[in-house]
Chains A and B, each alone.
Chain A
Amino acid sequence: MLVFLRRRILSSALPLLAVVLGVFFLARLTGDPANLYLPLSATPEMRAEFAARNGFDQPVAVQFLDYLSQIVRLDFGESLRTAQPAAQAVLQAFPATLQLAGATMAIAIAAAVVVGSLAAYRPNSVADRFASLLSSASASVPDFWFAIMGVLVFAVTLNWLPTSGTDGMGAWVLPIATLLIRPFGVLVQVVRGSMVSALSAPYAKVARSKGAGERRVIFVHALRNAAAPALTVAGDLTVGLVNGAVVVETIFGWPGIGKLMIDSILQRDFAVLQAAVLLTAVTIFALNILIDACYALLDARVRQGVTT
């Protein structure tokens, strides 16, 4: 188990490093922040002073080494926009996104397991049709348009829900519904597919012949085996959830990390952008390790490194 985890951590660390590098250099290329933060009439001396104060006059390699040593000391620099420590700005925004994404994934997984199992148990039933309709819709409907249609119907026309903000339970409904459609649509198909094969597997027949109830066969015997593919997909979906969060947070004015990233790119706020992307990458990285660990717990073959 430990060997397995160590191998996974090492192989996932490479993408993480690439992300840190990529973001640093790309962010440097996005244009001179002096143009944005100093008046047009700024003298060359003022520009030089601005660059020196923020370390932009050093060679890029030196800047990067400085940056790396700062990361190690958990110092992410200051926001150019607010002069607030970047780490603080990011950590303030992070819980909002985490709550949104966590609630979405919890609902998506629970709903996908129930609907997907029912669909697999009775092919062509109402649950099956519902599941396939939703998953084809989730691949074709743009999320920003879905969100705006939600606002149009439930906030503007019916006045049931607020158009934006985070106050009260009502404010959660539209953002979660928008984020939910894609992960649910994918997960429900994966659960359905793997449940179909799990339910017809010999061990399910054995369980039935021993007199286990149908509910027990589905949710105890079959689901344990069907859960592994769903878990793998859930890992990929969290990456997609970041995409969704950027859109949803922008539309609904949700003070999360997605909105922070868009804002800091528009404002050329390097420090905040780097800290935000790094935190996102670390979170995805940690989550993937966690998912792999769950996967290994479920499936002994993975744990022992047997490839099938």
Chain B
Amino acid sequence: MSETGDHPAPADTAPAAAPRPRLFALLLKDRVACLAALVLLAMSTAAVVGPFLLGDLATRQNLHSVDLPPFTLDNGWAFVLGSDSLGRSVAARLVVAARTTFAVAVPAVLVSFVVGSAWGMWAGYHRGWRESVSMRIADVVLSFPSLLLAVVVLYVFSPSIATLVLVLAIARVPVYLRTARAESAELRSRLFVDAARTFGASSGSIIRRHVAPTVMPTLITVATLDFCFVMLTESSLSFLGIGIQPPDLSWGLMVAQGRQELQTAWWIAVFPGLAIVMTTISATTLASWARLATDPAQRWRLTVPRGRVRRTARKAEEVAE
């Protein structure tokens, strides 16, 4: 699991701790999901330790090594992905930019996840006016193009990592709010919630102890997918010049810088985009795996070989018909 989903789960859900080793074994069995997890792990490792190792290299300008082409070791391993118009190593810059990209996306997802889920469970559990007011607010935020919201807010507060996190979190809270509300509204009439209420549990503790653990797998999947969305929005904003500002680096900003030199040095714009695509594809793959792995009714699909899944599914369809 990416670091987006890992933190909030164990905090308030005791049962989540028990199946973890089993989940990990399941992950090792699925080759594609395993690869995706490895890519994400590599990216986040690069984001954490990369700047210490390569920070100097990423900013060192050298007019003797301007616009070196990629995929050759003639100029040393640092220039394996080429260099930009100031002679800086593209590979080192990619690693340093990974930190900014993660430093925006991870907190933004965490904040919107925590706020949106808590708010949504509260609204869905209580129904009534609390629910309608919350949903109206969510409608308003969602009906406004998120890029415009970001553009306007980022001009009020000058663009920085903190304001970017704030804007992206606000724009994404409704997504969790809607999901959590729908699920907890359905849960509140279930027998186990009724039982807890009969025993005199307060609504706060019912939400914490009974609703939250049940809703959590869905919300974590949503969060993993949302990680992609947040990352794409951040890079769009940086690309448009209203997100991360130089001398800071982000993948979107690197594409914008490379755009100026598309004719002479295509690699400057291509590689950061590829980095974005690799991260988002890995996160999506892992999210769809997590959806299966955390759903007790679907988990068997991961434990049997691929061919059998299809055959069993077909048989099930025939039975249904």
Q: Are B252 and A144 in contact (CB under 8 A)?
A: yes
- Cα distance, A281 to B139, chains bound together (Å): 13
Determine whether A23 belongs to the interface, using a CB cutoff of 8 Å to chain B. Answer: yes
Q: Are B144 and A19 in contact (CB under 8 A)?
A: yes
B281-307, CB < 8 A from A: 281, 284
Interface residue stretch chosen among A57-65, A114-122, A147-155, A212-220: A147-155
Return the CB mask of A239-279 against B: 1 if under 8 Å, else 0: 11011001100110000000001100100100001000100
Q: Are B281 and A265 in contact (CB under 8 A)?
A: no
Listed in ascending order, the chain A residues whose CB lies under 8 Å from chain B are: 12, 14-15, 18-19, 22-23, 26-27, 29-31, 136, 139-145, 148-149, 151-152, 156, 200, 236, 239-240, 242-243, 246-247, 250-251, 261-262, 265, 268, 273, 277, 280-281, 284, 288
Q: Are B146 and A140 in contact (CB under 8 A)?
A: no
**Cβ of B185 to closest chain A Cβ, rounded Å:** 14
B151: chain A residues at CB < 8 Å are 246, 261-262, 265
Q: Are B255 and A246 in contact (CB under 8 A)?
A: no
Return the CB mask of B195-239 against A: 1 if under 8 Å, else 0: 000000000000000000000000000000100100010011001
**Cβ of A16 to closest chain B Cβ, rounded Å:** 8
Q: Are B236 and A247 in contact (CB under 8 A)?
A: yes
B281: chain A residues at CB < 8 Å are 136, 140
Partner among A15, A139, A145, A273 whose Cβ is within 8 Å of the Cβ of B276 = A145
Q: Are A15 and B277 in contact (CB under 8 A)?
A: no
From known contacts A15-B144, A141-B277, A142-B273, infer whether A30 and B152 are also in contact, taking CB-CB under 8 Å.
Answer: yes
Determine whether B2 belongs to the interface, using a CB cutoff of 8 Å to chain A. Answer: no
- Cα distance, A26 to B150, chains bound together (Å): 11
B235: chain A residues at CB < 8 Å are 142, 144-145
Q: Are B156 and A242 in contact (CB under 8 A)?
A: no
Return the CB mask of B232-267 against A: 1 if under 8 Å, else 0: 100110011010000000001001101100110010
- Cα distance, A261 to B145, chains bound together (Å): 12
Q: Are B139 and A15 in contact (CB under 8 A)?
A: yes
Q: Are A27 and B284 in contact (CB under 8 A)?
A: no
Q: Are A152 and B266 in contact (CB under 8 A)?
A: yes
- Cα distance, A261 to B155, chains bound together (Å): 12
A240: chain B residues at CB < 8 Å are 145
Whose C-beta in chain A lies nearest to the C-beta of B154? A265
- Cα distance, A151 to B260, chains bound together (Å): 12
Determine whether B16 belongs to the interface, using a CB cutoff of 8 Å to chain A. Answer: no
**Cβ of A173 to closest chain B Cβ, rounded Å:** 18
Partner among A18, A145, A262 whose Cβ is within 8 Å of the Cβ of B240 = A262
**Cβ of B190 to closest chain A Cβ, rounded Å:** 21
- Cα distance, A268 to B152, chains bound together (Å): 10
From known contacts A141-B277, A240-B145, infer whether A247 and B240 are also in contact, taking CB-CB under 8 Å.
Answer: yes
Q: Are A30 and B236 in contact (CB under 8 A)?
A: no
Most buried by A among B153, B236, B256: B236
Could you pull out 8 A-B pairs where Cβ atoms are within 8 angstroms? Answer: A22-B144, A26-B152, A142-B235, A145-B273, A156-B263, A242-B148, A243-B236, A265-B155
Chain B interface SS verdict (over half): helix
Chain A interface SS verdict (over half): helix
- Cα distance, A14 to B145, chains bound together (Å): 16
Determine whether B136 belongs to the interface, using a CB cutoff of 8 Å to chain A. Answer: yes
- Cα distance, A14 to B272, chains bound together (Å): 41
Most buried by B among A15, A140, A265: A140
Whose C-beta in chain A lies nearest to the C-beta of B152? A26
Return the CB mask of B140-169 against A: 1 if under 8 Å, else 0: 101111111001110110000000000000
Determine whether B32 belongs to the interface, using a CB cutoff of 8 Å to chain A. Answer: no
From known contacts A151-B262, A239-B143, infer whether A23 and B152 are also in contact, taking CB-CB under 8 Å.
Answer: yes
Q: Are B255 and A250 in contact (CB under 8 A)?
A: no
Q: Are A243 and B239 in contact (CB under 8 A)?
A: no
Q: Are A142 and B145 in contact (CB under 8 A)?
A: no
Q: Are A239 and B156 in contact (CB under 8 A)?
A: no
Determine whether B270 belongs to the interface, using a CB cutoff of 8 Å to chain A. Answer: yes
A247: chain B residues at CB < 8 Å are 147, 236, 239-240
**Cβ of A232 to closest chain B Cβ, rounded Å:** 13
- Cα distance, A19 to B281, chains bound together (Å): 34
A243: chain B residues at CB < 8 Å are 145-148, 236
From known contacts A140-B228, A144-B239, A247-B240, infer whether A26 and B269 are also in contact, taking CB-CB under 8 Å.
Answer: no
Whose C-beta in chain B lies nearest to the C-beta of A146? B273
Closest 5 CB pairs of A and B: A145-B273, A140-B280, A242-B145, A243-B147, A29-B156
Partner among A18, A26, A142 whose Cβ is within 8 Å of the Cβ of B236 = A142
Whose C-beta in chain A lies nearest to the C-beta of B241? A266
Whose C-beta in chain A lies nearest to the C-beta of B278? A140
- Cα distance, A200 to B139, chains bound together (Å): 34
Q: Are A261 and B262 in contact (CB under 8 A)?
A: no
Partner among A200, A261, A284 whose Cβ is within 8 Å of the Cβ of B143 = A284
From known contacts A140-B228, A142-B235, A142-B273, infer whether A148 and B259 are also in contact, taking CB-CB under 8 Å.
Answer: yes
**Cβ of A307 to closest chain B Cβ, rounded Å:** 14
From known contacts A144-B255, A148-B273, A262-B151, infer whether A30 and B240 are also in contact, taking CB-CB under 8 Å.
Answer: no
Partner among B144, B147, B228, B270 whose Cβ is within 8 Å of the Cβ of A246 = B147
Q: Are A139 and B280 in contact (CB under 8 A)?
A: yes
Most buried by A among B136, B140, B144, B156: B144
Q: Are A149 and B270 in contact (CB under 8 A)?
A: yes
A14: chain B residues at CB < 8 Å are 136, 139-140
- Other contacts beyond A156-B266, A284-B143: 12, CB < 8 A: A14-B136, A30-B152, A136-B281, A139-B280, A141-B277, A142-B236, A145-B255, A151-B262, A152-B266, A236-B142, A239-B143, A240-B145
